[in-house]
A and B are shown apart, each in its own frame.
Chain A
């Protein structure tokens, strides 16, 4: 009973926040709406008996990713999106495509629900930290390691992308890199290629 009430309140909140995110032109308002979606989804995870995922959702999405996004929005001090005057009719086409996608999604879910596998009554251990940790470090060890490497690559990539280099520094870096790679070859061709 209480679960159903929670579901409808927070499902409505999630949809409202999602629509407001797409609707608002100001990126910061969009970001705040998206945080609302994340928090409502976190409550929904609690109603699905997944407290660990709910806490991680708050910690990673609301606490880390969106802080980064808000930080970038504030740092770049973006102005609002200009209205798209030419190509107005594209909005209608976009909305139509969205409607088709919605119908398709529902159709897929309908097919899945009719699949022979029956829903079983859940044991209480699913969703507890222990069961997730056990599965993570036994059955799914390789994917976890791969995700770890992916995160390391993302860290390095992020640092390299936003590193600020002055023009001479950049040129000398390119020069050195070229010399290292193609000693004795004609450098100029490669510089154009870069």
Chain B
């Protein structure tokens, strides 16, 4: 009995951690959708949804119920297997990076000896990350780049020319802007000397002037712009331009399958906001908090965690704000901008950073 519990213990702990993290992220995503509708309403001089619950706070659940009970239409001549696979791929690839997010600092002050069977003997610290891997940045970039398949396959399998055009546009756009995105991260990685997300945050703590937004301002701008393109948001929402392509790759998707795409888009927004926060804004670090609370204690971790979520929400608000204010690019403008402006700028930033790091380390 004891050995069984000892073997199962890590699995149970990780299952709980994964459940908590995924549930939390999905709640944030659900309320991002509501916030988007509210904020867009205010920007456009409307009220926004306010019927379901007080101030419309139960609107996401009403939407979910609606998605579940709608009729699920499948186009007659679609490639069925691929048609069902595409939304699954899109949402899975959007959700997977959650396992490496550094949600907060390591908690070191809890005494774990109260656990039965000596389970707590070897636990020295409680990291607020599910999987601490050495190559966090590469992992996130890789998994998000696999997300392209969801959109491309959806466009192809729908057997509809608008969907195909939307899927092709989207893959071309995501491949192009991935390059600029990857190149803009290299500067940060060079300054931090690690690909580990926790390591990158640790390189930025102790002072807000150490945040990489200051030495890497060009990288920050490039990353932010390519992040908008990666997530197919305004002003780069060519794949779903309503006026030209009906709705792009998800024209033929209805009910829960459409909901999966919809969620994937907002989870991707969340991912990109996490990456901006971690890479350029010091992640969970709050300036001066180390003087008020003891680092490693539970309150310190909780306040840091709230600050982390707050920084992410600021970026999510930026997304919505830009959607309310900017018009859409034309496709050739988009491609020219990505290849002829953003990519050279990111590469110039890399070379500049190499020179500076070289002279600093002499």
Interface of chain A residues 65 through 81 with chain B (CB within 8 A): 67-68, 70-71, 74-75
Chain A neighbourhood of B178, CB < 8 A: 63
Q: Quick check: B167 and A63 within 8 Å, CB to CB?
A: no
Across chains A and B, the number of contacting residue pairs, with CB separation under 8 Å, is 72
A3 to chain B, nearest CB (A): 14
Q: Say yes or no: B194 contacts A67, CB within 8 Å.
A: no
> In B77-124, which residues have CB < 8 Å from any A CB?
79, 81-82, 85
Tell me, rounded to whole Å, the shortest Cβ–Cβ distance linking A80 to chain B. 12
Binding site secondary structure of chain A: helix
Residue A129 CB within 8 A of the other chain: yes
* Set of chain B residues within 8 Å of A56, measured between Cβ atoms: 138, 142
Measured between alpha carbons, how far is A51 from B195 in the docked complex, in Å? 11
Contacts of A63 in B (CB 8 A): 141-142, 145-146, 148, 178
Chain B CB within 8 A of A11 CB: no
Q: Which of B85, B167, B171 has the most CB of A within 10 A?
A: B171
Chain B residues, Cβ within 8 Å of A68: 175
Question: Is there contact, CB below 8 Å, between B85 and A74?
Answer: no
Within 8 A of B (CB), among A28-53: 28-29, 32, 35, 51-52
Total residues of chain A contacting the partner, CB 8 A:
22
Write the B3-26 contact mask toward A (1 if CB under 8 angstroms, else 0).
000000000000000000000000
Instruction: Say yes or no: A71-B195 contact (C-beta < 8 A), given A32-B82, A52-B134, A64-B145.
Output: no
Given A32-B82, A51-B133, A74-B168, do A59 and B138 touch, yes or no (CB 8 Å)? yes
Nearest-neighbor residue (CB-CB) of B11 within chain A: A2
A62 touches B146 (CB 8 A): yes
Contact status A52-B135, CB under 8 Å: yes
A35 to B175, CA, bound (A): 17
Number of chain B interface residues as a range: 20 to 34
Contact check, A58 vs B152: say whether CB atoms are below 8 A apart: no
Report how far A51 CA is from B131 CA in the complex, Å.
12
Could you say which residues of chain A place their CB within 8 Å of the CB of B164?
A: 74
In the complex where A51-B135, A71-B171, A74-B156 touch, is A59 in contact with B195 (Cβ < 8 A)? no
B354 to chain A, nearest CB (A): 12
Q: Does A13 contact B (CB under 8 A)?
A: no
Residues from chain B with Cβ under 8 Å of A28 in the complex: 79, 82, 156
CB < 8 Å: which of A58, A64, A70, A75 contacts B143? A58
Shortest C-beta distance, A156 to chain B (Å), equals: 15
Write out the residue numbers on chain A whose beta carbons fall within 8 Å of the beta carbon of B172: 71
Write the nearest CB–CB distance from B341 to chain A, whole angstroms: 18
A128 at the interface (CB under 8 A from B): yes
Question: Could you tell me if A55 and B135 are in contact, using CB atoms closer than 8 angstroms?
Answer: yes
B146 and A74 form a contact (CB under 8 A): no
Q: Does B149 contact A (CB under 8 A)?
A: yes
Cross-interface CB contact of B134 among A51, A59, A64, A67, cutoff 8 Å: A51
Contacts of A59 in B (CB 8 A): 138, 141-142, 145
B139 within 8 A of A: yes
User: In angstroms, how far is the closest chain B Cβ from the Cβ of A152?
Assistant: 13
Contact A58 B146 (CB under 8 A): yes
Verify B168–A75 contact, CB threshold 8 A: yes
Q: How far apart are the CA atoms of A56 and B137 in the complex, in Å?
A: 11
Cα of A34 to Cα of B205 in the assembled complex, Å: 43
Per the bound structure, the CA–CA distance linking A30 and B100 in Å amounts to: 31
Which of A55, A70, A75 is in CB contact (< 8 Å) with B149?
A: A70
- CB pair B171 A129 closer than 8 Å: no
Closest CB in chain A relative to B128 CB, distance in Å: 20
Q: Are A70 and B152 in contact (CB under 8 A)?
A: yes
A162 CA to B98 CA, complexed, in Å = 39
Instruction: Tell me whether B195 and A129 are in contact (CB under 8 A).
Output: yes
Give Cα A54 to B133, complex, Å.
Answer: 11
User: Are A55 and B139 touching (Cβ within 8 A)?
Assistant: yes
Contact among B79, B138, B148 for A67, CB-based, below 8 A: B148
Interface members, chain B 142-169 (any A CB < 8 Å): 142-143, 145-146, 148-149, 152-153, 155-156, 164, 167-168
Q: Which one, B138, B143, B155, B171, contacts A52 given CB within 8 A?
A: B138
On whether the beta carbons of B149 and A128 are closer than 8 Å, the reply is no
B42 to chain A, nearest CB (A): 38
Taking a contact as CB atoms closer than 8 A, the residue among A32, A55, A70, A129 that contacts B142 in the complex is A55
Residues of B within 8 A of A75 (CB): 168
Q: Is the CB of A67 within 8 A of B135?
A: no
A35 and B82 in contact, given A59-B142, A63-B142, A71-B171 (Cβ under 8 angstroms)? no
Give bound CA distance, A164 to B155, whole Å.
26
A62 nearest CB neighbor, chain B only:
B146
Task: Please encode chain A, from 84 to 105, with 1 for each CB lying within 8 Å of some chain B CB and 0 for all others.
Answer: 0000000000000000000000
Alpha-carbon gap, A75 to B156, bound state (A): 10
Q: Are B152 and A32 in contact (CB under 8 A)?
A: no
List 8 additional A-B contacts (Cβ < 8 Å) besides A55-B138, A67-B145: A29-B81, A32-B85, A35-B149, A54-B135, A58-B143, A59-B138, A59-B142, A71-B171
A-contacting residues of B (Cβ < 8 Å)?
Answer: 79, 81-82, 85, 133-135, 138-139, 141-143, 145-146, 148-149, 152-153, 155-156, 164, 167-168, 171-172, 175, 178, 194-195
A to B CB contacts below 8 Å, 30 in the list: A28-B79, A28-B156, A32-B82, A35-B146, A35-B149, A52-B138, A54-B135, A58-B142, A58-B143, A59-B141, A59-B142, A62-B142, A62-B145, A63-B142, A63-B145, A63-B178, A64-B145, A67-B145, A67-B148, A67-B152, A68-B175, A71-B168, A71-B171, A71-B175, A74-B155, A74-B156, A75-B168, A128-B134, A129-B134, A129-B195
